Copies of this chain bind each other. A is one copy, B any other.
Amino acid sequence: MSWTLTAADLPDLARGATLLGTGGGGDPYIGQMLVARVLSERGIGDRGITILDPDDLADDTFVIPTAQMGAPTVMIEKIPAGTEPTLALRTLEAHLGRSADATMPIECGGINSMIPLIVAAETGLPVVDADGMGRAFPELSMETFAVYGVHGSPLALAGERGETVIIDTGDDDRQMEWLARGVTIRLGGVGHIAEYAMSGADVKRTAVPRTLSMALALGRAIRVAREEHRSPFEAIAHTLSTTLYSEVRELFAGKVTDVERRTTEGFAKGRATISALDGTGSGSAGASGGTLEIRFQNENLTAHRDGELVAIVPDLICVTDIESGEPITTEGLRYGQRVRVLGISTPEMMRTPAALAAFGPRAFGLTEEFVPVESARALV
């Protein structure tokens, strides 16, 4: 069933997409401003953007996903003009000799939940309610699309000065990522892309379904809970209970006591330490003292509680404000913040051996094995 996303939905979507960004994925609030501006310029803020349910797609619908790539630390400083993702789409269309019937996110977490909406607002194309990461990941090859047989090439990349680059590495999505990352670094750290062009049948077979609507529902649930003075964390758990992301665990509550990050090779890498609050201040979860250490590469990769692994990629590790449930990105982490860290299970299609090979622990150079967040030792 298709539905309409209007300008009024954008703040909730941005909040939900930040949560699904698991610390990375770029800042959706910047994306939100860009979408709002384009909707306003076109006078379609109320009429909105058509969102297509993946089950409704005809098998021969032609879908070209669009996205931004780069280090989120750079994206904050380098606000895109807004026209680059559409230029990337048009460049890929011209290269393939075929026009897109719809666009789609490759990543539902962070700014990439918004980039296809900018394209939709500019072109009038609908957006498919699905993506290829089911969260955010740092590399273009980390896609359920690729895991289940749709490859990213040819990829079109557009820069802020109207540069375009088309990269074709055949079935080698890692080499595509490697070359596109090199171009993005030379463009100053951010590029806009169109890739993983596919049919409607491919979408139904390879995409994580309904992640755009899930992000919107999450953001809305957090806001409404706050307005009604209910727990935003119960609202998150309740919202996810009917989705493919049904297991939610509170991993820790405490205070940020150390953040170490550097932007290197086009990524933001580092670690954050969260320490228990003095006395009983750790909130409803009654944290047992000690510390939680989070390692990240754009997104949060691992959470160790007092040295024990309690969540690991591809499950979601989400840092939020301890009271309001507002999600906090890696760039937003500051000493002294009081935070609550959630672990959320990913869909089964993201936990198969093939999926773990693409975006499980080893794909990030981690030595830990994948352990589902729901089977890690519970905190309470």
Interface residues of A (CB under 8 A from B): 95, 161-170, 172, 175, 178-179, 181-183, 185-187
Q: Are A166 and B163 in contact (CB under 8 A)?
A: no
Contact B165 A167 (CB under 8 A): yes
Give the dominant DSSP class at A's interface. Answer: mixed
Measured between alpha carbons, how far is A351 from B47 in the docked complex, in Å? 61
Cα distance A187–B186 in the bound complex, in angstroms: 15
The one of B163, B169, B181, B187 that contacts A163, using a Cβ cutoff of 8 Å: B169
Collect the chain B residues with CB atoms within 8 Å of residue A172's CB.
161, 163
Residues of B within 8 A of A168 (CB): 163-165
Q: How far is the CB of A168 from chain B (nearest CB, A)?
A: 5
Copies in the complex: 2
How far in angstroms is the closest Cβ of chain B from A50? 31
Please measure, in the bound complex, the distance between the C-alpha atom of A95 and the C-alpha atom of B162, giving whole angstroms: 18
The CA-CA distance from A41 to B166 in the complex, in Å, is: 33
CA–CA, A71 to B108, complex, Å? Answer: 40
Q: In the complex the two chains form, is B186's CB within 8 Å of A163's CB?
A: no
Q: Which B-chain residue is minimally distant from A169 (CB atoms)?
A: B163
Residues of chain B within 8 A of A182, CB atoms compared? 182-183, 185-186
Q: Is the CB of A165 within 8 A of B179?
A: yes
- The reply to whether A166 and B166 contact each other, CB–CB distance below 8 Å, is yes
In contact, A179 and B163 (Cβ under 8 angstroms): yes
Besides A163-B169, A163-B175, A164-B168, 4 other CB < 8 A contacts?
A95-B166, A162-B170, A179-B186, A182-B186
How distant is the Cα of A282 from the Cα of B240 in the complex, in angstroms? 84
Within 8 Å CB of A163, what residues of B?
Answer: 167-170, 172, 175, 179
Q: Which 3 A-B pairs give the minimum distances between C-beta atoms?
A: A182-B186, A166-B166, A182-B182
B162 in contact with A165 (CB, 8 Å): no
Chain B residues in 8 Å Cβ range of A178: 186
Bound Cα distance A95, B92 (Å)? 11
Residues on B with C-beta less than 8 A from A183 are 179, 182-183
- A-B contacts, 9 of them at CB < 8 A, read A95-B95, A161-B172, A162-B170, A163-B172, A163-B179, A164-B168, A165-B168, A179-B186, A179-B187
The complex places the Cα of A164 from the Cα of B95 at a distance, in Å, of: 13
